[in-house]
Structure 1
C-alpha cells in the first residue's frame, strides 16, 4: 500500500475517533459599564450610527432600537450613558445579523462580541451557516449569573464568541423567548482566514488524536 493511501486511511480513522470540537468558545467579562473590545475585534453595530457596510440587520416582533429604561419592559445595559441607545428584544422577538456581505473573499467570520445587559435565562444566541441551519445555540443560563439584575457587573457582561476554524458562521440571531427582554449594545466582529486544505487535514487529525486519547483514558478508568 502506498504511503499516501496509508496516510489517508489513518486520517479517516482518526477522524472517526474524534470527539466533537466546540463550534463556539465563549468568554465574558463583567461590565457596568461595558469594558469595551480588544484586538482583533472591530465595532460593527452601536445602534446610534449606521451598521457596518455589508451587514444586513433584520428585526422581528417587538425588537427595537431603544433609549432609556421602561419598567417591566426593558432596561438599558448597566452603564449606558444618559440618552444612549441599544437593541431591545421583547418576548418572542429576534434580531438577525447576516455577515455574508461583510466578510471579505477567502476569509471567514472569526467571532462576535457584544455588551449583554441584565442577562436572563430566556435570552438566546443562535449561530447559523449561510443556508440558515443552526450550528450552535447559547443561552443566558450558561453565563455565571443570569437573574436579570439591571445594575450588577455580573449580569451585565461583555460576552465574546470565538468560532473554531472548522465552522463557517454566517449569521447571528439574537432571541428573547418567553419574556421581555434581551438588551444588548456595541456588537463587534473579527475576521479570520479560511484554513488551507493542508491545515484542515491537520486539524481533523488533531481532533482525532484528542478523541482517541479521551476514549483510551475512559477505557482505562472503566477497567
Structure 2
C-alpha cells in the first residue's frame, strides 16, 4: 500500500511523524505549504494525508464530505471512530476531533480504484498555489503575508454518479474567493471523468488568514521561490 511509508499503526491507532507528513506533502501531493515543514512553529499534518487514510480504510463512497476541525501535530496518536450512520471521526486519545467524515450511498472498495482516485485528488489538491489561488488573490487585490503564509484546508466534498470501477480523472472546474476583512474563503471546484464521461463533481474550501493589500513584487518573489522549491521535489521529475 502506497501510504504505508507515511504513517505507522499500532492495533487500531495511527501515528504520523512530522517527517512522514512532510514527505507525503512534497512527494505525493506536491504541496509546499510551509506549515507542513517539520521545523515549522505551527506544523500540521496535511489534510490530504488524513483524507487518503480514510479512503484506504473505508473505501470511496458515492457522496463524501470531509470537515477538518483541528491541526494534527507531530506524532499525535490518532483513532478512527465509526458510528452506525456513516460518519467517521478522526480523534486523538483524549477525544479531540480533527476530522469528521460523512459518507452516503454505495461504496467502492476496489484497492486500485481507491488508490487512483486518492492520488488524482491529492495531486489536484496540492496545486492550490500558485495555480488556483494566485489569480484569485490578484483579482481581489489581497494576498497572504509572504513571511507567514497561513492557508488552511477547511473542508471538501464530492458526489459520484457512476460506481463502476475505472480510471478516474480529476479536472479543475473553477474557483471563487470571498474576502471579509483579513480573512478569505476560497472554493475550488473540480469534476471527475471516466474515459471522457462526466461521473461526478466536488469542491474544496480553503481559509486564508492575515490578508493584506496585494503587492505584485512581493507575490512574484514568493512565487519564484516557491517554484524553485517545487523543482527540487521528486514528484516534479
Q: Same fold (TM over 0.5)?
A: no
Q: Structure 1 length as normaliser, TM-score? A: 0.27
Q: Structure 2 length as normaliser, TM-score? A: 0.25
Relative contact order, CA 8 A, sep 6+: which one is greater? 1
More helix by share: 2
